[in-house]
Structure 1
Amino acid sequence: MTRRRTLRPEEEELWQAVARTARPMHPKSKGFLRGMDAVAHPHPPVVDPKPREAEIPKSWLEPFRLGQKSKTASAHDIAPGLGEALKAAPLQMDAKLHGKMVRGKLLPEARIDLHGMTLAEAHPELIRFILNAQSAGMRLVLVITGKGKRGEDYGPIPSRMGALRHQVPQWLRMPPMGPAVLQVTEAHLKHGGSGAYYVYLRRR
Structure 2
Amino acid sequence: MTRKSRTRQLSPEEKRLWSHVARHVKPMQGKTLPPEPEPEDNPATAPAPAVAKLPPALPPLPPLKPPMPPLAPVERKTLQALRRGRKDVDSVIDLHGMRQEEAHFALLSFLHRAQGSGHALVLVITGKGGAAVSNGLFEERGVLRRMVPHWLRLPDLRHLVIGFEEASAQHGGSGALYVRLRRRRSAG
With the shorter chain as reference, the TM-score category is 0.5 to 0.7
Q: What's the counterpart of residue 174 of structure 1? A: 154
Q: Is the 8 A contact 2:122 2:178 kept in 1?
A: yes
Distance 1:92 1:185 in 2: 6
Larger Rg: 1
Unaligned ranges ≥5, structure 1: 1-88
Unaligned ranges ≥5, structure 2: 1-69
- What is the total number of aligned residue pairs between the two structures? 114
Deviation sequence 1:32-68 (CA, Å, 0-9, x none):
xxxxxxxxxxxxxxxxxxxxxxxxxxxxxxxxxxxxx
State the 4+ residue runs in structure 1 displaced beyond 2 angstroms. 89-106, 151-155, 158-161
Shift, 1:103, TM fit? 5.9
Q: Secondary structure at the match of 1:127?
A: helix
Verify: 1:137 aligned to 2:122, yes or no. Answer: no
Deviation sequence 1:64-101 (CA, Å, 0-9, x none):
xxxxxxxxxxxxxxxxxxxxxxxxx9645544335434
1:113 corresponds, among 91, 94, 109, to 94
Verify: 1:189 aligned to 2:169, yes or no. Answer: yes
- Bigger mean CA offset, 100-109 vs 110-119: 100-109
Shift, 1:160, TM fit? 4.3
| Distance change >3 Å, CA 160–CA 104, structure 1 → 2 | farther
**RMSD of equivalent CA atoms:** 2.4
Correspondence 1:55-74 to 2 at 5 A: none
Distance 1:118 1:90 in 2: 26
Deviation sequence 1:85-122 (CA, Å, 0-9, x none):
xxxx9645544335434666431110011000010111
Larger helix fraction of residues? 1
Question: Percent identical across equivalent pairs?
Answer: 44
Distance 1:102 1:93 in 2: 13
